[in-house]
Homo-oligomer: A and B are copies of this chain.
Amino acid sequence: MPIKLSITDADFEDGFVKLLGMKRESDADVDAVVADIIAAVRARGDAAVCEYTNKFDRLNIDAKGMVVTKDEVDAAVAAVEPDLLKSLELAAERIRSYHDRQMPADERYIDASGVELGWRWRPVSAAGLYVPGGLASYPSSVLMNAIPAKVAGVERLVMVVPTPDNKMNPLVLAAARIAGIDEIYRIGGAQAIAALAYGTETIKPVDKIVGPGNAFVAAAKRRVFGQVGIDMIAGPSEILVVADGSNDPSWVAADLLSQAEHDPVAQSILITDDAAFADRVQEAIDMHLETLPRAEIAGASWRDFGAIVVVENLTQAPALVDRIAPEHLELAVDDPDALAEDIHHAGAIFLGRYTPEAIGDYVAGPNHVLPTARSARFSSGLGVLDFIKRSSLIKCTPESLAKIGPAAIALAESEGLQAHGLSVAIRSNRM
């Protein structure tokens, strides 16, 4: 049974702290294996990648066979139902349009001392996108990871996707075509991450790697960080629904299950001010679970990690929401904007009764790659900013250097860094 807490219980704080501290990560010790794989790929390039692909994906390929050709993508696109292709295209267009607005402006100005200052943004030159194989091979994730990179202006966008037993989801290739991926390789695991980070004879290295993966992929990303940039390490999915008693319990139940069905260690939480409504949501969950194909996964997640928190008044909700800092937050109330105003930490906020979280997973436009495991306290969802970087710009004239130089010299000398001071003083004839 899911955890049930009421804010009026004497031991509420203890229970809530326990809820926050629930461990949902598998602590598989894969790091040593991953270190070996990376070392092998660095030392032996293509040959090592092909060997691991043979071993882990049961796919016997040579270096040339790693490449997914244009013809293969053409064939995959042709195999996809036209209606589904249209849905993918609609999603891509909406994601592109939202992310277009994220592109920040450059800045350049001359300040009161005559110093010219500013910054400019430039794209990462090459980015790699990891796409899981098998069951979790989601075309929507291809769009969500690739489109911000294209909007940012990344010149070379490389996708890797393992094809265990030579099985490839054609929708993934169709999404890659729609998103404008430049190169695709049928490799996965730590060996694919190593190939992207360090390059092989066939695969040129990239500067940044994004995309979700299993424990091996996550460990490999951590290890190559520094050599390349990485996105966040994604944890299991989460949803927090704040709902009053005026909602249809079966709607809220569907929303809670939509995240629960991702993974037995996903987490769905309901905060409500109506204990009777909470009971009706539980009943609706039981009912939905009777017919949902992924009832086993969703049921396990709800049973092991689900929670219902009853408060006296929804004004008590924001403080609890901030402590949870959920990946996805639904505010199913009459005035969701007012409630949102008091909340600080959430990856994405779904406002009102007609905004199920799943609409954001596919077609709303904002990114579905969002901070998990309370990291919304300090990080944002994936976006254009993840594929661009800022260079600051400074330009002094002899006059403006003379104005601000003395303070720099004084501070440099106070820090015992005389060459710093010298480099300023020598231009000011202050030697």
Let me know if B356 and A423 touch, CB within 8 A: yes
A377-401, CB < 8 A from B? 377-381, 383, 385, 389-398, 400-401
Residues of chain B contacted by A109 (CB below 8 angstroms): 101
For residue A355, CB closer than 8 A to chain B, the reply is yes
Closest to A411 in B: B362
For residue A122, CB closer than 8 A to chain B, the reply is yes
Residues of chain B contacted by A419 (CB below 8 angstroms): 254, 257-258, 260-261, 288, 292, 294, 298, 358
Closest to A341 in B: B120
Closest to A104 in B: B104
Let me know if B408 and A359 touch, CB within 8 A: yes
A261-285, CB < 8 A from B? 261-262
For residue A58, CB closer than 8 A to chain B, the reply is no
- Given A90-B404, A139-B411, A418-B292, decide whether A358 and B117 contact each other with a Cβ distance below 8 A: no
Let me know if A86 and B407 touch, CB within 8 A: yes
Which of A87, A124, A208, A348 has the most chain B CB within a 10 Å cutoff?
A87
Closest to A209 in B: B378
Smallest CB–CB gap between A9 and chain B, Å? 24
* Distance, CA A101 to CA B97, complexed state (A): 25
Residues of chain B contacted by A378 (CB below 8 angstroms): 124, 207-208, 228-229, 389
* Distance, CA A416 to CA B376, complexed state (A): 28
Let me know if A138 and B415 touch, CB within 8 A: yes
For residue A421, CB closer than 8 A to chain B, the reply is yes
* Distance, CA A406 to CA B135, complexed state (A): 23
Which of A102, A344, A417 has the most chain B CB within a 10 Å cutoff?
A417
Smallest CB–CB gap between A15 and chain B, Å? 20
* Distance, CA A124 to CA B250, complexed state (A): 35
Contact of A361 among B119, B261, B420 (CB under 8 A): B420
For residue A3, CB closer than 8 A to chain B, the reply is no
Residues of chain B contacted by A379 (CB below 8 angstroms): 229, 389
Let me know if A392 and B381 touch, CB within 8 A: yes
Closest to A381 in B: B392
Closest to A351 in B: B395
* Distance, CA A418 to CA B258, complexed state (A): 8
For residue A238, CB closer than 8 A to chain B, the reply is no
Q: Is the interface of A mostly helix, strand, loop or mixed?
A: mixed
Let me know if B364 and A117 touch, CB within 8 A: yes
- State how many residues of chain A have any CB contact under 8 Å with chain B: 122
Which of A257, A363, A371 has the most chain B CB within a 10 Å cutoff?
A363
Smallest CB–CB gap between A127 and chain B, Å? 9
* Distance, CA A176 to CA B254, complexed state (A): 51
For residue A84, CB closer than 8 A to chain B, the reply is yes
Contact of A391 among B107, B348, B417 (CB under 8 A): B348
For residue A35, CB closer than 8 A to chain B, the reply is no
Could you pull out 11 A-B pairs where Cβ atoms are within 8 angstroms?
A: A83-B410, A87-B407, A125-B344, A229-B378, A262-B417, A345-B391, A354-B401, A355-B395, A359-B401, A366-B392, A377-B389
Chain A residues with a Cβ under 8 A of chain B: 83-84, 86-88, 90-91, 94, 97-98, 101-102, 104, 107, 109, 111, 115-117, 119, 122-125, 135, 138-140, 171, 207-208, 226, 228-229, 233, 248, 250-251, 254-255, 257-258, 260-262, 288, 292-294, 298, 322, 336, 340, 344-367, 370-371, 373, 375-381, 383, 385, 389-398, 400-401, 404-408, 410-412, 414-424, 426-427
Given contacts A139-B415, A358-B421, A359-B401, 18 further A-B contacts (CB under 8 A): A84-B410, A84-B411, A94-B111, A140-B411, A207-B377, A254-B423, A261-B417, A261-B420, A292-B419, A346-B391, A348-B394, A349-B393, A358-B419, A358-B420, A362-B411, A367-B392, A370-B392, A381-B390
